[in-house]
Structure 1
Amino acid sequence: MPDFSDPKKEFASTLSHSNARVVRAPKVTANTAKMAPHQSLREQNLTPRLPVPAVNDWVAQRLLKEYGAIFVAQGNVVRPPAIIFTNPTDCITWQSRLNIRRENIGGIYIELQTEAMNALLAAREEAVRKNLRITPRGTWAARRSYRDTEKIWSRRVVPGLAFWRRRGKLSAREAARIQELAPARQVKEILRLEAQGLYFSKNFSKSILYSGTAPGASQHISMLALDINENHQAAVRAILARHGWFQTVISDLPHFTYLGTTQNKLPALGLKKTVKNKRIYWTPA
């Protein structure tokens, strides 16, 4: 795994393991092209050829803002080719090209990109030496399919529509219409309602995007994200950060993202530091 204590080794190749399930994938590194005058640091370091949303595409802009840290991940990981996968086939095809490692951690099998898994295992070893644990939060903690993201989204949307209908904020007809929409159109409608104060998180107090992202837009699809049980422990968060794992979605408490670099280099990649309830989040500036 990358040695983040030595900048010269930061972009070293991942270690090979006899139990790794590896599929050849193109190597992706930081975009080193010269920065155009109108580009931000984030735009400079985005995945090469990533389709950047138009200014008037407010849904894609919002998704990039909330989840875009993954598009500047460093090292030998492969970053997603789009802000959102629009169908299961494209998602499956892309995932099949990745270098993946599968491990049983705490009785739960999880899959991550090989470099991210190596870093996680190294973090776990450090945690053990300090009498701490780092374990996945359920079967959906790491890799997710397009269908998985649809299910999670639906688990927020359906109760939310019923909740706001009971409170007279939505008619039965309108709620039924939104529930029957295709995912892409439904996302736009839900975010439109949230702009009016009708939130769809589990307790209906904040945006749905802080507890379940739009179908096809989850960082878990890239296998560079992991939900962790011990997220409330500052010492665990510090260990994960030393191994390239950071919190990148504000208020999604269990969620960590593998960015493959050290914390002091994140601002140069176009990420800003936000401190909330004593936690540090790194999100697109």
Structure 2
Amino acid sequence: MKLPIKKKRIINRIIKKATFISIVILMIFVLVASNEITHHKLARTAQPLNVCLSTDSFPCTDIPKEPTSKAFLPNPELNAQQRFLSAIARKLSTIPQPGTYEYTLLRTYGAVFVNQDVEIKLPQKDIFANEQETQEFQATLTMGHVDGTNDCYLQKSAANALNKARIQQQIPLKSGYGSGDCTRTFNTNLRFWHKYANNQILTKVQQGKETKILGLVAPPGTSQHLWGLAIDLRVGSKEQRKALNQNGWFQTVENDVPHWTYVGLTEDNLPLFGFNKQVVRGITYWITPL
């Protein structure tokens, strides 16, 4: 028996409404389930970090690592040190033990390890033993030229960001020589060390008895300049600083005034990654929380 056309229309409307309601309920269920999974995932991340931060558990090798190609933001429920460690653990295979020479270097120069740019290349350790190790690492880098210079090269993303800042403001190199201000060789790093320090001071740094020198010059094989992610600049105005900050460049080594580090983050995101803001003699430094 055929139904009247009016009844057919009513039945079709009922079926459409029921289908719509079912889809909405399914979407809500998926969102709730997804949120629950994310919550448990964050909880699992926090637990290893808490364990890892106890002295007896270092070096940290069990912090969960996400694929480095994915955008990453630390869990805001963690404290500053934990947020920083969760970020650098994606780059370093092992976090050094507190009190060691490697940990001291990571505290002073480790800001670059939070960089989320997939084009940035970072070493698996924070000390190069010699020129050969340095050259082997630098040979894997994709370099970019800093516009308006003869021989200043940085990792390409860092160079591009610096070039954008220098379009906004005139920002000269400290000395004008790229081999000293920009990416350095191991031997150049060593030459700078012997200009300001000696082997006796190096021994004190390695023993944890001297740290102030690290704000003046990096020990042999430890400079951010070796990684193509640091540059020495002559910066004297707020406008210059603003241009650099807007393009991911910050001062991260306290008391090293001309030294700028390519972190690749916005200033708003630095606290989220655990950085501490410190103003020393009118200059704003973003210091690691280690």
TM-score (norm: length of structure 1): 0.68
Q: 1:216 aligns with which of 217, 221, 226?
A: 221
**Secondary structure, counterpart of 2:152 in structure 1:** strand
Partners of 1:244 and 1:262 within 8 A in 2? yes
Please identify runs of 4+ aligned residues in structure 1 that moved more than 6 A: 33-39
Cα distance, 1:240 vs structure 2: 0.4
Answer 1 or 2: which has greater helix percent: 2
Aligned-partner Cα distance in 2 for 1:191–1:56: 10
Letter of the structure 2 residue corresponding to residue 261 of structure 1: L
Q: 1:134 aligns with which of 141, 146, 171?
A: 171
Aligned-partner Cα distance in 1 for 2:221–2:69: 23
Cα distance, 1:244 vs structure 2: 0.8
Letter of the structure 2 residue corresponding to residue 145 of structure 1: T
Give the aligned length. Answer: 216
Matched, 1:227 2:232: yes
Seen in structure 2, the aligned counterparts of structure 1 residues 74 and 32 have a Cα distance that, compared at 3 Å, is closer
Residues 1-285 of structure 1 mapped to structure 2, 5 A cutoff: 32=72, 40-46=82-88, 47-57=90-100, 59-75=101-117, 76-103=119-146, 105=148, 107-127=149-169, 133-138=170-175, 139=177, 140-158=180-198, 178=199, 187-190=202-205, 192=207, 195=210, 207-229=212-234, 231-285=235-289
Partners of 2:74 and 2:272 within 8 A in 1? no
Deviations 1:175-231 (A, max 9, x none): xxx46xxxxxx6233565954xxxxxxxxxx821111111111011111111101x2
Partners of 1:41 and 1:270 within 8 A in 2? yes
**Percent identical:** 28
Seen in structure 2, the aligned counterparts of structure 1 residues 256 and 49 have a Cα distance that, compared at 3 Å, is closer
Aligned-partner Cα distance in 2 for 1:34–1:233: 32
Q: Name which structure has the greater RCO, CA cutoff 8 Å, separation 6+.
A: 1
Letter of the structure 1 residue corresponding to residue 221 of structure 2: G
Partners of 1:220 and 1:226 within 8 A in 2? yes
**Secondary structure, counterpart of 1:124 in structure 2:** helix
Aligned-partner Cα distance in 1 for 2:236–2:133: 35
Seen in structure 2, the aligned counterparts of structure 1 residues 41 and 193 have a Cα distance that, compared at 3 Å, is closer
Cα distance, 1:152 vs structure 2: 0.7
Cα distance, 1:49 vs structure 2: 3.6
Seen in structure 2, the aligned counterparts of structure 1 residues 261 and 33 have a Cα distance that, compared at 3 Å, is closer
Structure 1 unaligned residues grouped into runs of 5+: 1-26, 128-132, 159-177, 180-185, 196-205
Cα distance, 1:273 vs structure 2: 1.0
Cα distance, 1:50 vs structure 2: 3.4
Letter of the structure 1 residue corresponding to residue 143 of structure 2: I
Partners of 2:185 and 2:226 within 8 A in 1? yes
Cα distance, 1:274 vs structure 2: 0.9
Cα distance, 1:87 vs structure 2: 2.0
Seen in structure 2, the aligned counterparts of structure 1 residues 188 and 217 have a Cα distance that, compared at 3 Å, is same
Instruction: Answer with 1 or 2: which has the greater Rg.
Output: 2
Structure 2 unaligned residues grouped into runs of 5+: 1-66
**Secondary structure, counterpart of 1:89 in structure 2:** helix
RMSD: 2.7
Cα distance, 1:80 vs structure 2: 2.6
Answer 1 or 2: which has greater strand percent: 1
Seen in structure 2, the aligned counterparts of structure 1 residues 217 and 193 have a Cα distance that, compared at 3 Å, is closer
Cα distance, 1:280 vs structure 2: 1.2
Task: Give the structure 2 partner of residue 183 of structure 1.
Answer: none
